[in-house]
Amino acid sequence: MKRAIIFCLIIMSSVFVDAQGWIEYGGANSLAANGNIQSICMDALGNTYVAGYFTNSSGKRYVAKWNGTTWTELGGMSSLAANLNIYTIYTDASGNIYAGGTFTNASGNYYIAKWDGTAWSELGGLNGLAATDDIFSICGDASGNIYAAGAFKNGSGKCYVAKYDGVVWSELGGANGLSANFPIHSVYINPSSNILYAGGDFQNSSGYKYLAKWDGTSWSEVGGSNGLLAQSQIRTICSDASGNIYVAGAFYNSAARKYVAKWDGTSWSEVGGFNALAANNVITGICFDQAGNLYACGGFINANNKKYIAKYDGTAWSELGGMNSLSPTNGMNCIISDPLGSIYTAGYNVNTSGYYFVSKFSCTAVHDTIHQTILSGNSYVFNGDTLKTTGTYTDTLISSIGCDSVVTLQLTVMPNGVNDMAIGNDLQLFPNPANEVLILSSSHDFYDVKIYSLVTELVYANKSAASRRLEINTKDMPAGMYMVEVDGRYVRKLLVQR
């Protein structure tokens, strides 16, 4: 009984170390990308997709898919055959994959490529979008509309958000509705409201970058004129479960440090408080996990001059996995989380073979069960809760590096006057109560003796050659009730008095 308890407790303390960490997603050289990774997304089935500058053996850019077993080229060799870089990929609720970037069609126009599970096609038909410049971002809303933005311009020379409604492409808000005077780097749909947000290099009349909002009727500056006061590029946008909006990029606070800005519907603030993150370089990607933790990646470095992934747990920023645990060779471009809380990031990081890859940080869910018995009138402390009655209790233990373990306690309370659970009637403990010394004796050999307090704390252990008599010093044991276990089978109560 007690041996099983200690085994469970050892597992509890070790899973926090062994069940987490950064790995090369798919295994060493499994993706073997020969160029940097710009974008990552995951479909509802858990398949992961990445794209960027890397090429296949024919020199064509492609979207790579990880199906849980292998990395493959989505659609087969050169089925997309992108002639230049892929900057952004997106998956909709139906599992369709969309890609955009600097690649062009036969007419030399930039376009959104769509994979429908069978083939790649140009969304909207040949020259349906006919973008004149790079595409940096793609997103979709709950109605199935697809949105794209980047450096491409309308006839008035203004950058805009393009909308595909399933039939045709159009300028969101009408001609010059947004009228962005510089490129748009990110478009994002808030799933809580289905409202679209856009950010980038474009400026308001005061020369500040801002987050633009499309509410279905008109464009506006989030927070009002100069509400954010971003001096430099907005690169990435996300939201939390409550619908608050977060942005980050190259803009900075009064200490010249980059930060993640939060819009709570009333005002803008710096996540964590002034200079809490204090990123010393651009922030290129932000995301939330299912538990509400916020993550950021980019070109910023820690005190050891190493790039890292930053995590905000609602109280403070920290380095995900601990100091220098990831240590990418260069900056990261993108970051996402999955429903299990694993984090995926990629960018300019290369492995020892010189290949670009996806880094994954995972926390495996661990479920442990502890069986404990105490005597009536005593108590058992379980993760800070004092328990005195028989029952099953479940709690989540949280480690400092973010990996949790769900622990179930099955507590049994025995009557205080219970007889000793003895197997082997000739096992003797005397004196009992004990003061300074306890003697164990038996007519049979015994080997392994352990003494536990009533909260399963091991206070004595002796494992030796066969013996029929053992003297134990008890003078340092606090007064109280103990359980003596012999060879894992014979259990006696021991009372120590002073």
Helix, strand, or coil here: 462? strand
The whole-number pLDDT of residue 24 equals 95
CB atoms within 10 A of CB 264: 12
Total count of residues recorded for the chain: 498
CB atoms within 10 A of CB 205: 8
361: its two tokens? 């940080």
101: its two tokens? 């970037």
One digit per residue, the tens of pLDDT, for the chain of length 498 reads 222 332 233 233 333 333 458 999 999 999 999 999 999 999 988 999 999 999 999 999 999 999 999 999 999 999 999 999 999 999 999 999 999 999 999 999 999 999 999 999 999 999 999 999 999 999 999 999 999 999 999 999 999 999 999 999 999 999 999 999 999 999 999 999 999 999 999 999 999 999 999 999 999 999 999 999 999 999 999 999 999 999 999 999 999 999 999 999 999 999 999 999 999 999 999 999 988 999 999 999 999 999 999 999 999 999 999 999 998 889 999 999 998 889 999 999 999 999 999 999 986 555 666 666 666 667 777 767 788 888 888 776 554 444 556 677 777 776 554 444 434 557 788 898 898 999 988 877 778 888 887 655 677 788 776 778 899 999 888 888 888 888 766 667 888 887
356: its two tokens? 């670009």
Where are the alpha helices (H) located in 366-498, listed in sequence order? none
Query: Where do the domains of the chain lie?
Result: 2-8+366-414, 20-363, 428-496
C-alpha 140/C-alpha 93 separation (Å) is 9
Is residue 124 within 8 Å of residue 145, measured between CB atoms? Answer: no
**Could you tell me the fold of the domain covering 428-496?**
Immunoglobulin-like (2.60.40)
Q: Cα angle at 173 between 169 and 178, to 5 degrees?
A: 110
Distances (CA, A) of 339 to 20, 299, 344, 365: 16, 26, 12, 12
Question: Which residues on neighbouring strands pair with residue 187, listed in sequence order?
Answer: 198
**Could you tell me the fold of the domain covering 20-363?**
Methylamine Dehydrogenase; Chain H (2.130.10)
CB atoms within 10 A of CB 475: 10
C-alpha 168/C-alpha 267 separation (Å) is 37
Residue type, 1: M
Which one, of 138, 87, 16, lies nearest residue 396 by Cα? 16
DSSP letter string over 298-365? ES-B-TTS-B--EEE-SS-EEETTSTTSS--SS-EEEEEE-TTS-EEEEES-B-TTS-B--EEEEE--
Burial, 403: exposed, middle or buried (Cβ in 10 Å; 0-12, 13-18, 19+)?
buried
Sheet strand arrangement including 310-312: 283-288, 294-298, 310-312, 317-319
What Rg value do the Cα atoms of the chain yield, rounded?
A: 31
C-alpha 286/C-alpha 297 separation (Å) is 7
The whole-number pLDDT of residue 329 equals 82
The whole-number pLDDT of residue 390 equals 82
pTM of the model: 0.73
The whole-number pLDDT of residue 306 equals 93
